[in-house]
Amino acid sequence: MRQHTLSTAQQWDREDKLATYRDEFYILENTIYMDGNSLGLLSKRAERTLLQLLDAWKTLGIDGWTEGEHPWFYLSEEVGKKMAPLVGGNENEVIATGSTTTNLHQLVATFYKPMGNKTKILADELNFPSDIYALKSQLQLKGYEPDEHLIRVASPDGRYLREDDIIAAMTEEVALIVLPAVLYRSGQVLDMEKLTKAANERNIPIGFDLCHSVGSVEHELHDWGVDFAFWCTYKHLNGGPGSVGGLFIHEKQFGKAPGLAGWFGSKKASQFDMAHTMDAATDVGAYQIGTPHVLSLAPVIGSLEMFEEIGIEAIREKSLKLTNFMLALVEQELAGAGFTIGNPVDESRGGHLLLEHAEAARICKALKQDGVIPDFRAPNGIRLAPVALYNTFEDVWYTVQKLKVIMDEKRYEQFENKRGVVA
């Protein structure tokens, strides 16, 4: 096996075509940030556009809705157009609105149409809890018992899902399918094209949660025929805590009445007619609910500029190289330390790695004390996400070296093996 050294990392950093983008971000002092799959770092461009929109409020008042560099009235649509290439959607199929869970509620309310024995929603047992809460809530609103009508495809090992198992569960009783694009723990990338093809053949609407894939993994939602998708913008897209989410609806579904109607889903020209009969937009705009959260959208504008310049293909290429390097170093430096690799080792993984260890919570605390910011996931997971836009190969090298010292010297033993309030 090839031995990787610090010189390897430094050489790759010198050759890195994206290296200059690190200077675009506020890098935490004396810290290696490996938690960009939970919250991305602030960029100077995101800061600039936030201040621009604050200034528009200050100098224009209510005229900021239609004037200034980024008129607020059209902001959700304009940001949606910028996000469209990241998910493989047409410009009129993507909009920046809501949050992950509110968008899921909108989508289920729109697409879940139980009829006869076709009453069940198909999901999986490894999905992020918020999605499951929303699905159960929507079933209850329709008068169905979640334990009976929510199908959760089982994982054979607690880490991964098998696409064939999901397809086998697409029975005649299923009215809707909601799945993650990337599993939040293991980082497994599901074969969205294969799953969508199977759902389309069975005439079952299918949608994906892209929270852990958007900005890190390539998508072709329109060409695959995905009916809908939803995501947050504060992880790999670096939009800031609570930044406005994204929503995709395939143009083949345009005209379907929004399950949760609100006035910002109106056609722009008629919205202020104030009629009590909704004149819905004819594209994805129809599925907005309320007034856009302008100041939470503002940082996303600046952040997306970098994705437009680079392209998701180059970001994915560097992301895979970073995580490949980290996997090689874990094998080289941490053999015998009790770690299990909990993520796919091939290219069916997203932008983070999962190291499993019985002392994971303690180890995360020790890493943080040593200047590395990881992410703990109960009961035994350490997620590490070297982000293509601001992490370096040298970051990866030092992260693994610090982890090696922590394990060799048992530094983690000074901490309680219990997560913090926010893990």
Please give the annotated binding residues for pyridoxal 5'-phosphate, written as ranges. 100-101, 128-131, 209, 212, 234, 263, 291
Cα separation, 66 vs 27, in Å, equals 35
Cα separation, 231 vs 185, in Å, equals 16
Q: Which strand ranges, in their side-by-side order, compose the sheet holding 206-209?
A: 94-96, 246-249, 228-231, 206-209, 174-180, 120-124, 150-153
Give residue 5's identity as a one-letter amino acid code: T
Q: How far apart are the first and last CA of the chain?
A: 35
H/E run at residue 222: helix 221-224
Question: Which parts are annotated binding residues?
Answer: 100-101, 128-131, 209, 212, 234, 263, 291
Q: Determine the Cα angle at 90 with ends 183 and 191, to 5°.
A: 25
Where would I find the beta strands (DSSP E) of 20-134?
A: 32-33, 94-96, 120-124
Q: Determine the Cα angle at 188 with ends 186 and 191, to 5°.
A: 160
Cα separation, 242 vs 14, in Å, equals 35
Write the CB contacts of 420 (distance below 8 Å, at least 6 apart in sequence). 376
Distances, alpha carbon 411 to alpha carbons 74, 103, 358, 362, 416, in Å: 53, 43, 15, 9, 12
Buried b (16+ CB within 10 A) or exposed e, 8-32: bbeebbeebebeebbebbebeeeeb
For residue 129, give both structure tokens. 């809890």
